[in-house]
Structure 1
Amino acid sequence: MTTIKQVAVIGAGVMGAAIAAHIANSGTPVLLLDIVPEGAKNRNAVAEGAVAKMLKTDPAPFMSKRVTKLITCGNIEDDLDKIAKCDWVIEAVIERLDIKQDLYRKIDAVRAKGSVVSSNTSTIPLATLIDGMDESFAQDFIITHFFNPPRYMRLLELVGSGVTRDGVIDAVADFADRKLGKTCVTCHDEPGFIANRLGVYWIQAAMVEAMDRKLTVEEADSVIGRPFGIPKTGVFGLMDLVGLDLMPHVQSSMAGLLDKSDPFHAIYRESKLVSKLIADGYTGRKGKGGFYRLNREGGQKVKESVDLQTGEFAKSEKARLGSVRAAGKDPRKMMEASDKGGEYGRAVMGKTLAYAAFIAEAAANSIVDVDDAMKLGYAWKTGPFELIDAIGVDALISMLEEDGVEVPALLKKAAGKSFYKVKDGDLYYLGFDGEYAKVTRPDGVILLEDIKRKSERVAGNRAASLWDIGDGVACLEFHTKMNALDADVLGAIKTSIRTVKKQFKAMVIYNEASNFSAGANLGLALFAANIAAWPEIENLVETGQETYKALKYSPFPVVGAPSGLALGGGCEVLLHCDAVQAHGETYIGLVEPGVGLIPAWGGCKEMIRRWAENPKFVKGPMAPSAKAFEIISVATVAKSAMEAKENLFFRETDGITMNRNRLLADAKERALSMVDGYEAPEEFTYRLPGEAARVAFEMAVDGFHRLGKATDYDRVVAGELANVLAGGDTDVTEELSEDDILELEREGFMRLVRNEGTMARVEHMLLTGKPLRN
């Protein structure tokens, strides 16, 4: 099997450049080539310009600016021969067959024998791309369809042909899995492959039905959202996000490629409204807006939406459909509702789920692949066949028959059964042959959902559970809303420490929610403050400090395994672990100043210690505290695991796992590697600068205040933070213990929590999800 050590990307447009960026994120050298602009003095201007632009793009294509050094920019005229050193060449040029094939012939003349060549196309069939090409080229050629943005979308669709050489797909899949963090789904050479084939149908059906049934865009998005486990953007919000100008091209392309008997043709029609919006510059979020826009007239920001009948914009009004509220997260209840919301949901999702069954065998190897494609390519929480099971196979068949929609053969095969079932703790899926087959995981993948299906938890309460994941390792899972931390979570951590000490060798802290932890439960804090329950708040702070300290000094290794948000108290959990094995997409920070507080579960003391112990950092009593103040005072959030290392939220020795599905297995392996000869860390003695540092920190904040970059209340919060990080009333001649720093954290926290300015920030955050600048 080909080992991929160096990659070339030809085409530095939005997708090609972003693919190159993500390959660099993996630590792999990548060559980025594009055309030479006419009359250009800099012949590499296109590729270099793309890299420069990505450094300013948000969300960032790069996990760290440091990885840009792995990209070599060039041009097709001067540098094409350099691909001879590359194991994989990715073509991402304009969707024109003649241009692509001309490029392929040039690539074939200089590429290394056996190197893989792929196209990122989503509209041209593979058979067409290789038609007329040399047999040796065709054997090494596949389609690798990345989803935009490549760094964040976990789906990679792979398409081979009847002549693809053995090992080509496997080589790319292995690299994409382990290095790029992709879930690779092998598709058949069908129009749109899997995700876009079904996704484009779903969007078209939703748009047509909303217009015909005279729903508002808000009503449509509320129906095609939470009840079906689909992001709150729904359909119209999704079109704005993707770009309205892209949709007509994709839909017309699909209509041209699909056989006339395909159900897509029954719902396809060009939209005059969409054409008008595009013509007027309403191409979505990248333009002036789309189905939704922000009207900034008069210095205001008013969210507006377009009337699907008239094309006129008016103030956006929240949808208030009783059926949506009643359905909650129940798709069947939504589809059985008798109001216009229910009728719309049934019409759109009934047809969409039927279409999933219609295309599955032609497009995919299994229904599992179809579900994975929609979950990872379109962010559905549950795939179409999982949704059918939630609705009920027989119930859906009855709805389709009543509505005059043809019931696909695959759906008929499942009548009286379900598409998935659990037997002896193992998950099975219905095959195209009508028989059940076990769902298997790739080597090196452990999912907690599989373990939970086969076992009982070892310990726990309503907020967290301890699981046996084998080989003497336990896994502590938080499962509150947003994995917010409260007294019950702290209690579960304490119980887990006692249990692991007696029964296990090591512990991993991990969960499979979207976010590791959003921090302490602010709602409970606000409630306690409103009734002046100050002793209860202080007790919770002290309990958290004691719990995290016990975690840090437990007699066994503890490995934190975060993904998604790890904020505030969630960050502090990880700061007290022996090691961290983080998903690449971990967003971590001590954000307490944003809600008018300071870290008080040991975050301040741990950040001082990390900067003091960092061998690459300048020494001296002031420097570690100053660096911690710089990071914490502005509520810095690292936007990747790489950035987390740069801020010392993670150590240089901590690991990064690119594939979310491999995180638990990697964390378990890390924990086991630490068992032999394990010794808990020694307590740290602090020598902090005291008054001089505190004054210096406050003066820095005053300077930002004069420039308008810090608010009045920022100065109050920063003052308390400065006091802790300076060591209070101390100087460099005195030694402070960890408990001394914890006491300073606790006292500063309690002074702030009694302040009306802090309570205003907390309440505003809970109501709006945004910080208050008071």
Structure 2
Amino acid sequence: MKRRIKKVAVIGSGIMGSGIACHFANIGVEVLLMDIVPRELTEKEEKQGKTLKDPSVRNRIVNDALQTSLKSNPSPIYHRDFAKRIETGNLEDHISKIKDADWIIEVVVERLDIKQQVFENLEKHRTPGTLISSNTSGIPIKFMTKGRSDDFKKHFCGTHFFNPPRYLKLLEIIPGPDTSKEVLEFLNEYGEKFLGKRTVVAKDTPAFIGNRVGIFSIMSLFHMVKDMDMTIEEVDKLTGPVIGRPKSATFRTVDVVGLDTLVHVANGLYDNVPKDERHDLFKLPSFIEKMMEHKWLGSKTGQGFYKKVKNGDGSSDIKSLDLETLEYRDRKSAKFDTLEKTKSIDAVVDRFPVLIEGKDKAGEFYRKNFAALFAYVQNRIPEITDTLYKIDDAMKAGFGWQHGPFHIWDAIGLDKGIQLMKDEGFEVADWIHTLSESNQKSFYSIKSGKTYFYDVDQKSHQKIPGQDAFIILDNIRESHEVFSNKDLVAQDLGDGILNIEFRSKMNSIGGDVLNGINAAMDIAEKEYDGVVISNTGDNFSVGANIGMIFMLAVEQEYEELNAAIKYFQDTMMRMRYSSIPTVAAPHQMALGGGCELSMHADKVVAHAETYIGLVEFGVGVIPGGGGSKEMTRRAAMTFQKDDVELNRLRENFLTIGMAKVAKSAHEAYDLNILEKGKDIVVVSRDRQLAVAKEQARLIAQNGYTQPVKTNDIKVLGRQALGAFLVGTDQMKAGKYISEHDHKIAKKLAYVMSGGDLSEANYVSEQYLLDLEREAFLSLCGERKTLERLQHMIKKGKPLRN
């Protein structure tokens, strides 16, 4: 029988439970979120004359928890309306409702006795055959089902979501001794396909995979920082983006997560893995014990390894903890010669061989750190998993590492990694010796676009399962290349579809990207049926190359700047009016020009985590790559008889004028950046490119005809212009916007009104593009625009002047 998930019951509404409930609501599932009944009234409830029998009182815990979650930043929900999919209740009055659930997820406190009591109660009302799981982070699954029925045990396992569930991709699935194979296979596929997770089946060992290796890595650093007499700034410098880790690196990450959370897991490991060869490493260093005593737990208590201190003039500084004195001091800069040598190396994976050869403290740090990591993960096979790629998957999806331990080891070289371990006194596992003595010499290999891993039992490379639904650009970039230049690569995806991939810094759109798009489109229109624009960068595109715009504007090279803007516009129009369909696949940040490019594709297949918007106001200009034109056109497309047309245009005007950015792809529909009925959203980032390719094929196969250029866009002229100018004047008078914001807004108003026309008229796209380009150029001649451009280039954030 085909199993489908239509309704989920989440038991426990804390931070984790509410987050899981919200993420199921994100994907369209009906959710029942429940918690216990309060045992006493609050002071407010007493004043209101309520009793413990009042329904609002009985559901207070769950309702308050859900509302707190929905108000949190970042939000756990893709769109505020999706919260309507969540029904709340309590475990006394509404427990019978779980009979309708297809999956019951327990997320109560981490105590075995309490979990067992909950399961006993749930089984009284659960429909046989219903999936049931525990979101435990460490309690053995085998102990939880004591006393439960065979059907319960068969359909039960651990499902460890990482917090926050919307944003962290890792979902560990931990089978119990009686969990059926069908349940495991279903959850593995469902987590990846529907929840957008990197699902990893783990063994029922303490802390499973992600936390076992992740907490080891952090605890290893805690001990190393003392042994090597390093500052927290030095460690964070060395363990951040330079090696493909989050900007928060090590100590800032602990502050965000909470030191108490880390200590809880570390203590659990110390108690439960006595035979671990690095058992003593899980014992807390003295400075951690002192911080716990002082309740310096991080962001939740206002201080941890870092502390924000307010000065007398109202400004604030970030202080750092001195691990020797345990006093806060001014932050110290951290510079290393070894890191300087990697500045010209864009690909993180190519930096590792350079880092371990460093002659300074950084080089020593990396040698010790990687040696300890390699030695640890080699010994976790087969203890926590039989397959090495699951360890890498867990660290990438759960801890934000760009490369897992075995990926890093491959980058350094198998034998070099062995030598690092030997130099630090670590023993080499037998299976590593076997691999080293073979002719394979690597943990991973690529064949026919698929990734293979070294199977310890088979002593050979085997294909990682589940890849058939994916297209992995990293695996086909060279073998399927059709065209490339410095900042762009075009690959043959097969089945008549060409992919265009940006490779510039932050995937910004400059001359080489535009040249590459046009060259690739020339090839595609002659030899292919469709085009997809997709890449593997951290962000789809942060927009146009503002450094180039700034330099041309400073040098007052206005003719060249005009030509550059027109070339951008013409390239966008080339995509729109191509003889073959174009599909854009944005993810993460798609700002400015990245947004404009997406809006000019025939279809957008957006990843759910897409932050998209026209943000040009922040650098002192209006959207100049067709964005202002496009928002005007989209408003006109919605005009209906007897409609208040100005209201629809005003919405799009404010979207640009307020530099609104959708915080998910679903919010982009509200901003008219994505179009309902045309553009689609996918939850799985791994599947996004395959879906985009399929959409391009479908459009082509259904008889795609090159569009005819639009010449009938209705613009409202002075009716709109006058209203916009009055509104912006009021905003300026109320000091909601600056003088320069006011000037930019007037330029935008002129463009989106179609100019100073005495009455409504119909115009072409090119007419609006010319107005847009003229306004953009004139703003580039403004001193305050140049200040904004320069500030963005130097600081990476907008200036309000």
Contact preservation (8 Å) 1:581, 1:667: yes
State yes or no: 1:388 paired with 2:413.
Answer: no
Kindly report which structure 2 residues correspond to 1:114-193, keeping only aligned pairs within 5 A, or say none. 114-193=129-208
Take 2:651 and 2:501, find their aligned partners in 1: how far apart are those partners? 32
Take 2:654 and 2:608, find their aligned partners in 1: how far apart are those partners? 24
Deviations 1:91-142 (A, max 9, x none): 0000000100000011111111111110110110111222343332111110
Q: Out of 508, 511, 517, which is 1:484 matched to?
A: 508
Shift of 1:424: 5.9
Deviations 1:197-255 (A, max 9, x none): 00000000001110222211010111223443222322112111211121111100111
- Corresponding letter in the other structure for 1:6: K
Shift of 1:699: 2.7
SS of the residue 1:143 aligns to: strand
Q: How high is the TM-score relative to the length of structure 1?
A: 0.97
Q: Out of 626, 629, 634, which is 2:653 matched to?
A: 629
Take 2:207 and 2:572, find their aligned partners in 1: how far apart are those partners? 50
- Corresponding letter in the other structure for 2:171: L
Deviations 1:16-63 (A, max 9, x none): 100000000000001000011123542111221122222321111000
Query: What residue number does 1:217 align with?
Result: 232
Shift of 1:615: 7.4
Q: Out of 58, 66, 69, which is 1:54 matched to?
A: 69
Contact preservation (8 Å) 2:175, 2:204: yes
Contact preservation (8 Å) 2:395, 2:404: yes
Deviations 1:705-763 (A, max 9, x none): 34332122211111111111111121434322111111110010001111110111111
State yes or no: 1:284 paired with 2:298.
Answer: yes
C-alpha spacing 1:489/1:618, structure 2 compared with 1 (3 Å): farther
Contact preservation (8 Å) 2:500, 2:533: yes
Kindly report which structure 2 residues correspond to 1:255-654, keeping only aligned pairs within 5 A, or say none. 255-258=270-273, 260-298=274-312, 299-328=314-343, 329=348, 330-415=351-436, 417-423=441-447, 426-433=450-457, 434-452=459-477, 455-614=479-638, 619-653=643-677, 654=679
Q: Out of 56, 67, 71, which is 2:82 matched to?
A: 67
Take 2:270 and 2:642, find their aligned partners in 1: how far apart are those partners? 63
Query: What residue number does 2:5 align with?
Result: 4
Shift of 1:518: 0.5
Contact preservation (8 Å) 1:371, 1:385: yes
Q: Out of 719, 733, 736, which is 1:709 matched to?
A: 736
Query: What residue number does 1:33 align with?
Result: 34
- Corresponding letter in the other structure for 2:106: E
Kindly report which structure 2 residues correspond to 1:615-694, keeping only aligned pairs within 5 A, or say none. 619-653=643-677, 654-675=679-700, 676-682=702-708, 683-694=710-721
Contact preservation (8 Å) 1:608, 1:624: no
- Corresponding letter in the other structure for 1:39: E
Q: Out of 784, 790, 795, which is 1:757 matched to?
A: 784
Contact preservation (8 Å) 1:567, 1:589: yes
Deviations 1:484-540 (A, max 9, x none): 001111112222222121111111111121211110011111222222222111111
Query: What residue number does 2:45 align with?
Result: none
Contact preservation (8 Å) 1:687, 1:732: no
Take 1:257 and 1:167, find their aligned partners in 2: how far apart are those partners? 30
Take 2:147 and 2:604, find their aligned partners in 1: how far apart are those partners? 51
Take 1:622 and 1:425, find their aligned partners in 2: how far apart are those partners? 52
Take 2:431 and 2:92, find their aligned partners in 1: how far apart are those partners? 51
Deviations 1:62-91 (A, max 9, x none): 000010110000011111111100010000
Contact preservation (8 Å) 1:125, 1:189: yes
Q: Which moved more, 1:710-719 or 1:614-623?
A: 614-623
Shift of 1:617: 11
Query: What residue number does 1:44 align with?
Result: 59
Q: Which moved more, 1:345-354 or 1:498-507?
A: 345-354
Contact preservation (8 Å) 1:628, 1:725: no
Query: What residue number does 1:253 align with?
Result: 268
C-alpha spacing 1:424/1:35, structure 2 compared with 1 (3 Å): closer
Contact preservation (8 Å) 1:227, 1:334: no
Deviations 1:669-724 (A, max 9, x none): 11122122222344152232223422322332333334332122211111111111
Contact preservation (8 Å) 2:197, 2:684: yes
Contact preservation (8 Å) 1:420, 1:429: yes
Shift of 1:398: 1.4
Contact preservation (8 Å) 2:636, 2:713: no
Q: Which moved more, 1:377-386 or 1:730-739?
A: 730-739
Name the count of aligned residue pairs: 772
Contact preservation (8 Å) 1:354, 1:411: no
Contact preservation (8 Å) 2:721, 2:756: no
C-alpha spacing 1:699/1:524, structure 2 compared with 1 (3 Å): same
Query: What residue number does 1:20 align with?
Result: 21
Take 1:50 and 1:64, find their aligned partners in 2: how far apart are those partners? 18
- Corresponding letter in the other structure for 1:633: G
Shift of 1:621: 4.1
SS of the residue 2:303 aligns to: coil
Query: What residue number does 1:727 align with?
Result: 754
C-alpha spacing 1:684/1:160, structure 2 compared with 1 (3 Å): farther
Shift of 1:177: 1.7
Shift of 1:772: 0.5
Contact preservation (8 Å) 1:227, 1:331: no
Take 2:521 and 2:355, find their aligned partners in 1: how far apart are those partners? 44
C-alpha spacing 1:735/1:549, structure 2 compared with 1 (3 Å): same
Q: How high is the TM-score relative to the length of structure 2?
A: 0.93
- Corresponding letter in the other structure for 2:298: G
Take 1:300 and 1:412, find their aligned partners in 2: how far apart are those partners? 57
Structure 2 alignment gaps of length 5 or more: 42-53
- Corresponding letter in the other structure for 2:712: T
Take 1:404 and 1:174, find their aligned partners in 2: how far apart are those partners? 42
Q: Which moved more, 1:584-593 or 1:355-364?
A: 355-364
Shift of 1:656: 1.0
Deviations 1:437-491 (A, max 9, x none): 12343442222223325x2322232222221111111111111111100111111
Measured on the aligned residues, the alpha-carbon RMSD in Å equals 1.8
- Corresponding letter in the other structure for 1:107: L
Structure 1 alignment gaps of length 5 or more: none
C-alpha spacing 1:34/1:544, structure 2 compared with 1 (3 Å): same
* Percentage identity across paired residues of the two chains: 37
Query: What residue number does 1:738 align with?
Result: 765
C-alpha spacing 1:707/1:39, structure 2 compared with 1 (3 Å): farther
Take 2:430 and 2:256, find their aligned partners in 1: how far apart are those partners? 35
Contact preservation (8 Å) 2:585, 2:688: yes
- Corresponding letter in the other structure for 1:674: I
- Corresponding letter in the other structure for 2:787: A
